[in-house]
Structure 1
Amino acid sequence: DQFRDEELTTPQKAFAEAGAEIEIASTRKGEAKGMLGATANVDTLISELNADNLNCVVVVGGMGSPEYLWYDKDLHTLLKKLQAQDKVIGAICLSGAVLANAGVLNGKRATVYAVPDSLKALSDGKAEYIKEDVVQDGRVITADGPDAAPAFAAALVKELSKVKV
């Protein structure tokens, strides 16, 4: 709950237009509510996802991210497996801190919605904070907030177009 609407819907639309299969996962099943009123049906639990079956994971931001995602061990494990398999990983807004807490930003350039807690997470995760809308370092793409959602989605689709399925 409390995801930032356009940080989910903009990449979701871009992926659909590119012909990608989309699965929405969270810490609980049911309907997730966005901060601006959007809803999303959660298809599966994060704990049920298998990195071997995924080409990309995008961690959506919003006020719910620190509460539900920043310290989620299942999500951290999944992200580490994806990184080990050289899969595409994206995070927008406050969720850049999820990647940092998981250890996948160690030595990487990244951006985040810049508040003290998220900046501390990047620093603690040994990431180099870059004050830009979208930052790509290898297969990891981060964005700083809802205004960056279109550019973030475009960067994700471009990187995914390089994946051999």
Structure 2
Amino acid sequence: MKALVIVADMSYEGEYSMAVQALRQLGMEVNSGLISKNANVNFDIDLTDKLGEDVLGGYDVVIFIGGYWAYYAVTGKEMPGRVKPMVNREAFEKLLTQSVSGGKKTILPLATPAYAAKLGLLRGKRATVYPTTDLIGILRGNGVDYVNEDFVIDGNVITLKRITVEFLTKALNK
């Protein structure tokens, strides 16, 4: 099996490395795709300019690493005192929509479930999210049944309130 890790922001400590570790522990071939011009990670695919291509075609699993950028982008709050990631938001949203709508096994940790909910991709589904009032409110306000669990699987979408190797491997083994 092949997995694609789409990276918007590396600012949340361990989010990327734990995802890659869990996927590799499950025996998956892992590629990384970069959706930000200033994320500091080794990558296989520059996704910032591949909007017209079917980059998800060869992958069984797609995981979206949003870091703090995803939280601030979805809540509309100003990111305090950090180097602001230069995320190609259009590409991020297009790939997220293609993955969820196209039936790919899509993994959304931390704030990315709220981002997907705001795009209407999780309406009528059960999901979890990093447990802040504003993120939970975004889920509920966009027709998502919020579940306070470590991870929630609904169809092809796996949402995680926190990302750990243990939670991710358990979710992918179900």
Q: Which residue of 1 aligns with 2:4?
A: none
Q: Which residue of 1 aligns with 2:169?
A: 154
SS in structure 2 opposite 1:79?
A: helix
What is the correspondence of 1:18-37 to structure 2 with a 5 Å cutoff?
Answer: 18-29=26-37, 31-32=39-40
Q: Which residue of 2 aligns with 1:3?
A: 11
1:111/1:135 contact within 8 Å kept = yes
TM-score (norm 2): 0.71
Q: Which residue of 2 aligns with 1:41?
A: 42
Q: Distance in 1 between matches of 2:62 and 2:68?
A: 19
SS in structure 2 opposite 1:90?
A: strand
Q: Which residue of 1 aligns with 2:69?
A: 64
Matched, 1:105 2:122: yes
Change (3 A) 1:47 1:121: farther
Q: Which residue of 1 aligns with 2:109?
A: 92
2:160 to 143, 150, 153: 143
TM superposition shift of 1:112: 0.5
2:20 to 12, 16, 26: 12
The sequence identity of aligned pairs, in percent, is 25
TM superposition shift of 1:21: 2.4
Q: Which residue of 1 aligns with 2:145?
A: 128
TM superposition shift of 1:14: 1.8
SS in structure 1 opposite 2:30?
A: coil
Q: Residue 25 of structure 1 aligns to which amino acid in structure 2?
A: G
Q: Residue 173 of structure 2 aligns to which amino acid in structure 1?
A: K
1:50 to 31, 55, 79: 55
The alignment yields a C-alpha RMSD, in angstroms, of 2.6
Q: Distance in 1 between matches of 2:131 and 2:152?
A: 14
Q: Distance in 1 between matches of 2:118 and 2:140?
A: 10
Q: Distance in 2 between matches of 1:69 and 1:42?
A: 25
Which range moves more in the overlay, 78-87 or 66-75?
66-75
Q: Distance in 2 between matches of 1:134 and 1:65?
A: 18
Change (3 A) 1:24 1:57: same
Q: Distance in 2 between matches of 1:145 and 1:112?
A: 8
Change (3 A) 1:73 1:29: closer
Q: Residue 138 of structure 2 aligns to which amino acid in structure 1?
A: A
